Each structure stands twice: as structure tokens, then as C-alpha cells.
Amino acid sequence: MSEKTHPLITVVGAGISGLNVVYCLTELYGVPGENICVVGDYLPGDQSANGYSSPWAGGNFSCISPDDKNVIWYDKFTYQNLPSLTKKLLEFYKGKDEEWLGLARRPSTELWDFQPSEAKINSWSQYLDGYNVLTKDQLAKFQPKGAVFGITFKTFNFNCPVFLVNFAEFLKGKHGVSFVKDRLTHIAQAKTYANKASKKNNSKHIVFNCTGLGSKELGGVADHNLHPTRGQVVVITAPHVAENCLRWGKDYATYIIPRPGKLHELVLGGFLQVDNWNAQDTSREETEDILKRTTTLLPKIGDPGELPILKVAAGLRPSRYGGPRVEKEVKEAEKGLVVIHNYGASGYGYQCGLGMAFKAVSLAFSEQRDSKL
């Protein structure tokens, strides 16, 4: 692709989905960063209870994602490409390590109260480092009783608020991508944002919509399949716990997720509350329930009444009925506006985000017919 053929690109949304798209554009497709502008209500380093979910994520590669064949592929692509992303960022941040970066490896144990699908099990066995299926005797050691399937493997852990900032600074510092803090009310407005450093040597302009829950009300999108899935977590400091432990039930999720970094934070959760928009408030009852479940699952955490709690927080996962939307849409009414939608990953945006982003960027540079909502 010659320089003259590179389009101008606006990425709407500066969470993990938007940053992954910019990474794929620059590092995997060779698009000059000077042609790319990221615009969002919130930028890395900001926090918002309702509008910016990425900093609130527990942040690991887990096996929570659904059985959809596309999502299975997104997971695999992300897991296999996170080592390369880590290497590129550490080459840029000379002298820094994974703990500082906010993306490091940790062991993980995951348990289910039901049998996962064969499609998922077969996929995991092909690419997860250190993949091992637990025996019945091993499962029986976990409390409460009732786990019917479990695995161990080596996963990736994110310190989400730290990693988002470092990821964005890499994209700005290495590639010259611009970031603009602004609120859009209609997706067509995205074409008015461009990197001021761009040479503007062509008229083609592509917009990536990575607005998460914002796409529910964003003009020109208005995807009412979107809905929040509220979560609440308790963050403690626990230098003695450096392992993930997660348990999935039919109506609950319990997770223990260590964050890289010198603070030795441990994220304890949680809840999967569909259509609950309340991220401003946290519940003492839910906090006590989280502490009881997590310390039962992994007793080495400590006495739930004596844990050093740093904060209790709630957030809204950008969930979508029908699964994530990764589609190309040509809006003729807006003079041929080309929009690539990339949103709706719910609580698995960090673990499948690179795969979704690569698919989205591939659609942008293909002649594939657009897909209407």
C-alpha cells in the first residue's frame, strides 16, 4: 500500500477497543499514525462510572467469553498476539518491565459448575500455554463443592488504568496518533476530526466506531441490542497472591484477579447484573458477598474481616444481545461515510479485543459488502 492510498481515519472511543484498532492499523497494517485521530468523551487517564468502562475492568485473559465461533477466534488471536504487543511496548519504553507496563503473565485456575462446550475446550487446548485439565480429585478440593470442570494455564493480567495510559502514549509517541477529547452526538460528526499532522493527500476517510455502550444512543447507530451488565469489585492489596482463580456458575461469577504493579492489587468480584445501569453506587451487602465467595474459593487471601481494602467500585460492561458487532457499514445518506463498527464485547474486551480489532481493520481494507444493523 503506497502512502498516497492511506486513508484518513477517525477512531471514536478511546477505551481498549479503540486503542486495539489503532495498534492494528499502525503496527499490523502500516497506516501512518499521522493519518489517525482518536476522539472520545473520555481518554486514557480519565475515569467515569457510567461512560468509560475500560479502566474498571478486572483485566485478564479468562474463559468467560461465549461459544460463538467468531468470539472463539477473537480470543485465540488475542492470546497469541499479546506477547508481540508486550514486546513492542517494552522496546518503546526502554528500561521498563511488564510490571510497570501493566501487562504481565500469571498462573490461572478456572472452574465451572457446568460443562463448557466441546468447541471451547478444543480451542483452549490448542493455544493456551501450560493448559491442563483438572482431575475429579483436584476439583473436589475447591469450596464450595460442585465444580464439574476446571483448567489451569498461564494467562495475561492487565492493570487496566495503568496499561491504557501506557498503550495510548506508545501510539502517540511512536506513531504520532492524535487524541481529542470531545463528545459526539452523531457518528457522521467523526469525519470532522482528523490528525492535524496528516498530509491529507487523499479524500478517503474511514471511521471506526468503538464507543461501547455509547452506541446505544449515538446518532446514526442507535443499537438497542446494547445493554449494561453491572459489576462490583473489591480491590485489596495482597502481595502474597499472584495467581488468578475464577469460578463460573449458571447465575454467578466469582473471580480473583491480581494486577501487575508495585501496589500488589488484587481485584475480587463479582456480579453480572444485566440491564442494571447503576454504576454510581456500591452495596455493602454485595461487598460482603464478594469477600465471602472469594475467600472461600481461595482461602489464602485471608480473613474477609481483616483484608486491607483499597476501594470498592462498580462499572458497566458494554454487553450486546447477539454478541459483539464487528461490521462494515457504508452510510449513503452521509455521502458515502464508511463506518467500521467494533463494540459489544461485554466483560471480555481485554481478552478478545485484539482479535476484534484485527477483524475490524481487515474489513476496512476489504471490498466486502457492508453489513447493516
Say how far apart CA 188 and CA 304 lie, in whole Å.
50
Say how far apart CA 320 and CA 143 lie, in whole Å.
32
> In this predicted structure, what is the pLDDT of residue 150?
98
| Beta-strand runs (E) in the chain | 8-12, 36-40, 103-112, 132-133, 149-158, 178-181, 205-209, 226-237, 244-248, 253-258, 265-269, 273-274, 309-320, 325-331, 337-343
CA-nearest of 259, 347, 362, 285 to 31 is: 362
> In this predicted structure, what is the pLDDT of residue 331?
86
Find all residues with CB under 8 Å of 12, minimum gap 6, and list them.
Answer: 18, 39, 40, 184, 187, 190, 207, 208, 209, 210, 211
> In this predicted structure, what is the pLDDT of residue 366?
85
CA-nearest of 373, 311, 365, 302 to 344 is: 373
Q: Is 131 annotated as a binding residue?
A: no
Amino acid residing at 160: C
**C-alpha triplet 309, 315, 318: angle, nearest 5°:** 150
DSSP state, 311? E
The domain at 3-364 falls in which architecture? 2-Layer Sandwich (3.30)
CA-nearest of 1, 2, 21, 25 to 12 is: 21
Find all residues with CB under 8 Å of 66, minimum gap 6, and list them.
Answer: 323
CA-nearest of 197, 120, 185 to 151 is: 120
Amino acid residing at 168: A
Q: Tens of pLDDT along the chain (373 residues)?
A: 444 578 999 999 999 999 999 999 999 999 999 999 999 999 999 988 778 899 989 999 999 899 999 999 999 999 999 999 999 999 999 999 999 999 999 999 999 999 999 999 999 999 999 999 999 999 999 999 999 999 999 999 999 999 999 999 999 999 999 999 999 999 999 999 999 998 766 668 999 999 999 999 999 999 999 999 999 999 999 999 999 999 999 999 999 999 999 999 999 999 999 999 999 999 999 999 999 999 999 999 999 999 999 999 999 999 999 999 999 999 877 777 899 999 999 999 999 999 999 999 999 998 644 444 4
CA-nearest of 160, 175, 147 to 235 is: 160
Q: Is 347 annotated as a binding residue?
A: yes
In contact, 4 and 201? CB cutoff 8 Å: yes
Grid cell 472520545 is found at: 40
In contact, 314 and 281? CB cutoff 8 Å: yes
Say how far apart CA 22 and CA 192 lie, in whole Å.
18
Strand pairing report for 103-112 and 36-40: unpaired
| Cα 300 from chain centroid (whole Å) | 28
Say how far apart CA 355 and CA 340 lie, in whole Å.
14
Distances from the Cα of 50 to the Cαs of 36, 53, 56, 157, 226, in angstroms?
27, 7, 10, 23, 14
CA-nearest of 107, 159, 102 to 128 is: 107
Q: Is 79 annotated as a binding residue?
A: no
Q: Is 317 annotated as a binding residue?
A: yes
DSSP state, 102? T
